[in-house]
Amino acid sequence: MKKVKTVVITGGASGIGLAITQLFAEKGYETIFLDYNSNAGTEVATSLSKKGYKVQFIQTDVSDFNSVKMAFGQMPETIDVLVNNAGISHVGNLEETSEEDFERLFQVNVKGIYTCSNAAIKKLKANGGGSIINMCSVAATMGLPDRFAYSMTKGAVLSMTLSIARDYVSDNIRCNCISPGRVHTPFVDGFLAKNYPGQEKEMFAKLAATQPIGRMGKPEEIAGMVYYLASDEASFITGSNFNIDGGFLGLKA
């Protein structure tokens, strides 16, 4: 009988994370997703469970190692995949980034990957191997305006990905990261509503046009790449960063 694989997804109740949670559940994985937002997580878990999918939601603060340890203590002894998706953003250059802003992004975007990967590694080893997939960004490899703190965190994500891939290759644990360009999520809509009231459509079109392909990405497209990297078909891939950006990096004039 074919073994049912288990995936753990952080930030799995909204945006890209929700698309990842839904896809793995639909594909038959035992899907465990973590999120700070208890209400959203409960709603997602209830909805997917009603469809017959095997899902478990655990409210977790990825920046708090005790919270993460408690979450992983509720999971099976072995897991196949960890998707480090949880992350937050900040708009501002060096002068516009307060110490509180800097620390807040570091705690979630950098420390969150450390805590969850650290807690997961024994379960991946016990499984005989598996895959860690980190959500990076095009901000890790190019200078984006007014994204100082965010870029700092994503540069760290890329470096941690390479380090984990190197250190655990002999344990049959692969580690890769994905670098999206602009993706249409509720965060984008909220950002536009807050900063450009009455100009949302105009600004949305302007942001979409920055990608040579002429539109923003869809959360489902990012989820598709995550699913592929977690699969046996990607067993020869580790220590790699995959840009999904509509040509943003490769086709700019």
DSSP 147: B
Q: Which two structure tokens, joined as six digits, stand for 149?
A: 């703190």
List strands edge to edge, sheet with 241-244.
Answer: 55-59, 30-35, 6-10, 81-84, 130-135, 173-180, 241-244
Q: What backbone phi and psi angles, to 5 degrees, belong to 240?
A: -120, 155
- Tell me which residue has tokens 């305006």: 145
Instruction: Tell me the C-alpha distance between 198 and 195, whole Å.
Output: 10
Radius of gyration of the CA atoms of the chain, in A: 18
Which helix H or strand E contains 112, and what residues bound it? helix 112-126
Residues with catalytic function: 150
* Cα distance between residue 90 and residue 136, in whole Å: 15
Give the position of tokens 């002068």.
Answer: 95
Fill in the amino acid letter for 145.
P
Closest alpha carbon to 219 in 14, 5, 3: 14
Dump the DSSP string for 176-210: EEEEE--B--HHHHHHHHHHSTT-HHHHHHHHHTT
